[in-house]
Amino acid sequence: MNKDHDSSSAFGSTLDDHTGLMAAIWGPGINVAIFMALYSYRRYPPIIHALAGIFACIYTLATTIPILFTTGIVSSTNTIAINESGFILYIHYLGGIACLSMILISTILGVMTRIFNLC
């Protein structure tokens, strides 16, 4: 087995999906969605904004939660990944959990805002 396959199996089945599309979603993808919110006086940009945000939230949850269930929060001395130090992974996990919390809060607040606007 190669090193990538060992690392992938140690992190679970969603590692490739998590590393593959996450940067595109939270880099240029979400920025385009934020710019769509600026055009809320038109009909379709708010819909595009909402769909992009919901997709980003669901994709993040779907690829992150299985990794957390597989590995737990790694310690800074962990050697689960061959190419990364345990400290780098520990910081990535802590930052990722903080970002995941903010993603959930912003998605819930966005949905609540939309519901309150309709009522």
Per-residue pLDDT of the chain (119 residues; tens, 9 = 90+): 344 445 556 777 777 778 788 888 988 988 888 888 888 788 888 888 889 999 999 999 999 888 888 887 777 676 666 666 777 788 888 898 999 999 999 999 999 988 998 87
- At 79 the pLDDT is 65
Expressed in angstroms, the distance from the first to the final Cα of the chain is 57
Sort 101 into a burial class: Cβ within 10 Å, 0-12 / 13-18 / 19+.
exposed
- At 5 the pLDDT is 46
Helices (DSSP H) in the chain: which residue ranges?
3-11, 15-24, 30-38, 45-71, 86-118
Residue 72 three-state SS: coil
- At 22 the pLDDT is 87
- At 39 the pLDDT is 80
- At 4 the pLDDT is 47
Rounded to two decimals, the pTM is 0.75
